């Protein structure tokens, strides 16, 4: 079906929708097979990188919380962690 669509963005969107919807119906073995195919694609690499980035941010936030508890200033924490001052204030 995606082969009939000429616009590349529409193809990507359609494929993403099919995967998201099928998530409710597929079993573990089929999921494993899909992952094997995705491992060869830019999609999985992008998802993995995004997950790593999210993990890094969460780690920085955890560090910032500890530093706040130790009494360090928001300015110092922002400098050390690279987090925005506003994000650090929200942790307070």
Could you tell me if residue 78 is inside a domain?
yes
Query: Mind listing the pLDDT tens digit for each residue in 18-74?
Result: 777 877 777 888 878 877 877 777 777 887 888 898 889 999 999 999 999 999 999
Q: Residue 24: which domain range?
A: 1-40
pTM of the predicted model as reported, rounded to 2 decimal places: 0.53
pLDDT of residue 41: 74
Statement to judge: residues 55 and 86 lie in one domain: yes
Confidence label for 3 from pLDDT (cuts 50, 70 and 90): low
Task: Domain count for the chain, please give it.
Answer: 2
Confidence label for 75 from pLDDT (cuts 50, 70 and 90): very high
Statement to judge: residues 22 and 57 lie in one domain: no
Buried b (16+ CB within 10 A) or exposed e, 50-74: eeeeeeeeeebbeebeebbeeeeeb
């Amino acid at each position: 079906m995606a082969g009939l669509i000429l616009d590349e963005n529409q193809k990507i969107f359609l494929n993403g929708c099919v995967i998201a919807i099928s998530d409710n119906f597929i079993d573990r073995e089929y999921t494993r097979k899909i992952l094997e195919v995705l491992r060869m694609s830019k999609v999985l690499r992008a998802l993995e990188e995004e997950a790593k980035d999210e993990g890094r941010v969460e780690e920085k936030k955890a560090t910032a919380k500890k530093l706040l508890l130790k009494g360090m200033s928001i300015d110092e924490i922002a400098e050390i962690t690279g987090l925005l001052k506003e994000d650090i204030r929200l942790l307070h």
